[in-house]
């Protein structure tokens, strides 16, 4: 009658995790206008201390870029998540990356996606910051705030509430 007896739709919340051991930071802190300006979507970044890169969410791998610098993931809730390893790394033609996943593979935050050769990135003066972006933010009603702090790999850092 007035909707008071309708069941409320249960809010779906997706947990996001640190993709590496290091320092998590808000996207605004990333020194690249495309990411810090949120032109591709909203998310967070991790300045890695180690070479291992893990999945930020539970889902499946949609694509691995030919240059190995980026991997896209889709969650069961329909979120499209981009994991972009380093800033301006496409020019390195995949050399500093070793990818361990393939398209269609199911993953969890404990799944190692790749290794980044931090020494090679340093030699080329390439920023190693890993950016995690939800590219279809129209499906998200709220992404909880990320404050800069030290994290362990796979540690939960934020949540997205589905719209």
DSSP per residue over the chain, as a string?
Answer: --STTSPPPPPPEEEEE-SSSEEEEEGGGSS-HHHHTTSS-EEEEEEESSSEEE-SSSEEEEEE-TTSSEEEEE-TT--EEEEEESSS-GGGTTTTEEE---TT-EE-TTSEEEEE-HHHHHHTT----EEEEES-GGGEEEE-----EEE-TT-EEEEEEE-
Work out the average pLDDT over 146-154: 96
The predicted pLDDT at position 135 comes to: 97
In a domain, 128, yes or no: yes
- 41 lies in which domain range? 13-162
In a domain, 4, yes or no: no
In a domain, 63, yes or no: yes
- Model confidence pLDDT, tens digit, residues 14-44: 999 999 999 999 999 998 889 999 999 999 9
- Model confidence pLDDT, tens digit, residues 62-72: 999 999 999 99
pTM confidence score = 0.92
Of the candidates 17, 69, 84, 149, the residue annotated as catalytic is 84
In a domain, 28, yes or no: yes
In a domain, 70, yes or no: yes
Work out the average pLDDT over 49-60: 98
In a domain, 17, yes or no: yes
- Model confidence pLDDT, tens digit, residues 110-126: 999 999 999 999 999 99
Do the Cβ atoms of 144 and 14 come closer than 8 Å?
A: no
- Model confidence pLDDT, tens digit, residues 77-102: 999 999 999 998 988 989 999 999 99
The number of distinct structural domains making up the chain is: 1
The predicted pLDDT at position 1 comes to: 46
Work out the average pLDDT over 36-56: 96
In a domain, 29, yes or no: yes
In a domain, 104, yes or no: yes
Domain CATH code at residue 142: 2.70.70.10
Active site residue 84: yes
């Amino acid at each position: 009658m007035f909707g008071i007896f309708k069941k409320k739709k249960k809010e779906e919340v997706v947990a996001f995790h640190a993709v590496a051991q290091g320092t998590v930071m808000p996207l605004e802190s990333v020194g690249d206008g495309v990411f810090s300006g949120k032109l591709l979507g909203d998310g967070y970044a991790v300045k890695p201390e180690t070479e291992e890169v893990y999945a930020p969410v539970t889902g499946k791998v949609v694509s691995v870029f030919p240059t190995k610098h980026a991997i896209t993931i889709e969650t069961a809730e329909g979120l499209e998540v981009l994991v972009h390893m380093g800033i301006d790394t496409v020019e390195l033609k995949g050399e500093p990356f070793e990818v361990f996943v393939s398209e269609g593979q199911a993953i969890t935050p404990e799944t190692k996606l790749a290794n980044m050769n931090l020494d090679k990135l340093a030699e080329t003066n390439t920023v190693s910051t890993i950016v995690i972006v939800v590219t279809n933010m129209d499906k998200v009603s709220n992404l909880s705030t990320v404050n800069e702090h030290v994290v362990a790999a796979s540690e939960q850092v934020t949540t997205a509430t589905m719209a």
